């Protein structure tokens, strides 16, 4: 199973290794005749350049590593589409990894990329502490997706989670809700900002005494847990803002298990507008953020550092928008006050 090397190709085409290298990399300064000979030899032998050797010598991998905090969250899969498209348009390949939202495993995943010496690193929704992220950014350009940071060595491209959460609360308030509760996203990326936005909006609307945050996570299970604790109280909320769509589905399950109906008894907001929210059977009101744009921006940031030599940080904040579907409606008349 030993693969042919550039040397084999050179010998077979009766030229030097350098010439083969030039042909492989598409140099224009090669006689057509020799180029053909080399190409034929490559074809005949089934030669495939050894990326290890190539990267070692060239001191660059033209590969960017993408660490997905959660492979199960459709939101990230959709962001990857954008990243992939943008990267390959610029001649870079991407490699994926995941840490399952577990700090230690995410650290390992990142380390794998650093050892590989990828030219850049995208951390999508990482739960890692800032210190670890900064450390990584010392050896390789890093951009954080769906999470912000003040660290001067990392770029961030995220949706304005605070504004999005405010949009959600405002929407519910517009429908007439007052007892609006929230299920947070635990240590998930952007979770804190979403809760902040919730608190801020509630306060701004004079509803501070109704502020109620149950602890959850960016998972179905987390949403379910949070909702359970909310439902145990004697004064039920009339509306719930979930940390993300996945969590919203957990909330939805908990609420229906209780024999309550959505949106008649309780209104529900998700966040992310993943395909789940659009499923007819769920038809979840949610907050949209453009994943294609996020992916594109992430690559742009990386390339500015890798090829443009930028050193100062970029902080991109995309504007979220409300998507009202069928899980939100006015509260029951008796609850309207």
In the complex with DNA, the residue whose CB is nearer, 20 or 145, is 20
Dihedral (CA of 55, 58, 59, 64) sign: negative
Dihedral (CA of 61, 66, 71, 76) sign: negative
Residue of the chain from 90, 170, 187, 253 that contacts a second copy (CB under 8 A) = 253
H/E element, 288: strand 286-288
User: Does 151 sit near DNA (CB under 7 A)?
Assistant: no
In the complex with DNA, the residue whose CB is nearer, 15 or 183, is 15
Residue of the chain from 11, 24, 95, 210 that contacts DNA (CB under 7 A) = 24
Euclidean distance between CA atoms 231 and 101, whole angstroms? 27
C-alpha pair distances (Å), 293 with each of 37, 83, 161, 289: 44, 9, 15, 9
H/E element, 221: helix 220-231
Angle CA(319)–CA(320)–CA(321) in degrees, nearest 5?
125
Other C-beta atoms closer than 10 Å to the C-beta of 115 total 8
Residue of the chain from 256, 260, 264, 332 that contacts a second copy (CB under 8 A) = 256
Tell which positions 133-152 bind a second copy, by CB under 8 A. 138-140
Euclidean distance between CA atoms 65 and 41, whole angstroms? 33
Number of residues that bind DNA (CB under 7 A): 29
User: Does 34 sit near DNA (CB under 7 A)?
Assistant: yes
Which partner from the list DNA, a second copy, none does 116 bind, CB cut-off 5 to 8 Å by kind?
Answer: a second copy
User: Does 114 sit near a second copy (CB under 8 A)?
Assistant: yes
C-alpha pair distances (Å), 40 with each of 2, 126, 248: 20, 46, 58
Return the SS3 of 310.
coil
Q: How far apart are CB 16 and DNA at their closest, in Å?
A: 3
Which partner from the list DNA, a second copy, none does 58 bind, CB cut-off 5 to 8 Å by kind?
Answer: DNA
> Residues 22, 33: contact at Cβ < 8 Å?
no
The mark string for 208-247 relative to a second copy (x by CB under 8 A, - otherwise) is ------------x---------------------------
Euclidean distance between CA atoms 286 and 165, whole angstroms? 10
Q: What are phi and psi of 4, to 5 degrees?
A: -70, 150
In the complex with a second copy, the residue whose CB is nearer, 75 or 198, is 75
Which partner from the list DNA, a second copy, none does 146 bind, CB cut-off 5 to 8 Å by kind?
Answer: none
Residues of the shown chain interacting with DNA in the complex, contacts defined by CB under 7 A: 2-3, 5-7, 15-19, 21-22, 24-25, 28-31, 33-34, 47, 49-50, 53-54, 56-59
Residues of the shown chain interacting with a second copy in the complex, contacts defined by CB under 8 A: 1, 3, 46, 48-53, 55-56, 61, 63, 71-72, 74, 77-78, 80-81, 84, 93, 95-98, 100, 111-112, 114-117, 138-140, 220, 249, 252-253, 256-257, 275-276, 279-282
């Amino acid at each position: 199973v030993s693969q042919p090397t550039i040397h084999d190709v050179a010998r077979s085409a009766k030229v030097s290794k350098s010439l083969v290298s030039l042909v492989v990399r598409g140099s224009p300064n090669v006689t057509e005749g020799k180029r053909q000979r080399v190409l034929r030899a490559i074809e005949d032998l089934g030669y495939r350049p050894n990326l290890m050797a190539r990267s070692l010598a060239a001191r660059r991998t033209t590969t960017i590593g993408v660490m997905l905090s959660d492979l199960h969250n459709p939101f990230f899969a959709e962001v990857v589409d954008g990243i992939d498209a943008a990267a390959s348009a610029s001649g870079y390949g991407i490699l994926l990894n995941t840490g399952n939202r577990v700090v230690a495993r995410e650290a390992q995943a990142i380390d794998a990329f650093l050892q590989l010496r990828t030219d850049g690193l995208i951390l999508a929704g990482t739960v890692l502490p800032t210190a670890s992220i900064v450390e990584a950014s010392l050896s390789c350009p890093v951009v954080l997706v769906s999470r912000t940071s003040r660290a001067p060595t990392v770029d961030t491209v995220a949706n304005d989670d605070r504004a999005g959460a405010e949009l959600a609360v405002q929407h519910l308030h517009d429908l007439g809700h007052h007892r609006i509760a929230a299920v947070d996203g635990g240590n998930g990326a952007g979770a804190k900002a979403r809760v902040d936005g919730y608190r801020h909006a509630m306060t701004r609307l004079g509803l501070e005494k109704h502020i109620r945050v149950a602890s959850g996570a960016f998972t179905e299970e987390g949403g379910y847990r949070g909702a359970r604790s909310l439902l145990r109280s004697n004064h039920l909320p009339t509306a719930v803002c979930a940390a993300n769509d996945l969590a919203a589905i957990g909330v939805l399950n908990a609420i229906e298990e209780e024999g309550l109906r959505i949106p008649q008894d309780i209104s529900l907001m998700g966040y992310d507008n993943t395909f789940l929210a659009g499923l007819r059977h769920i038809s979840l009101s949610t907050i949209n953020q453009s994943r294609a744009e996020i992916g594109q921006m992430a690559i742009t940031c990386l390339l500015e550092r890798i090829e443009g030599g930028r050193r100062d940080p970029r902080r991109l904040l995309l504007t979220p928008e409300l998507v009202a579907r069928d899980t939100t409606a006015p509260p029951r008349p008796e609850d309207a006050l």
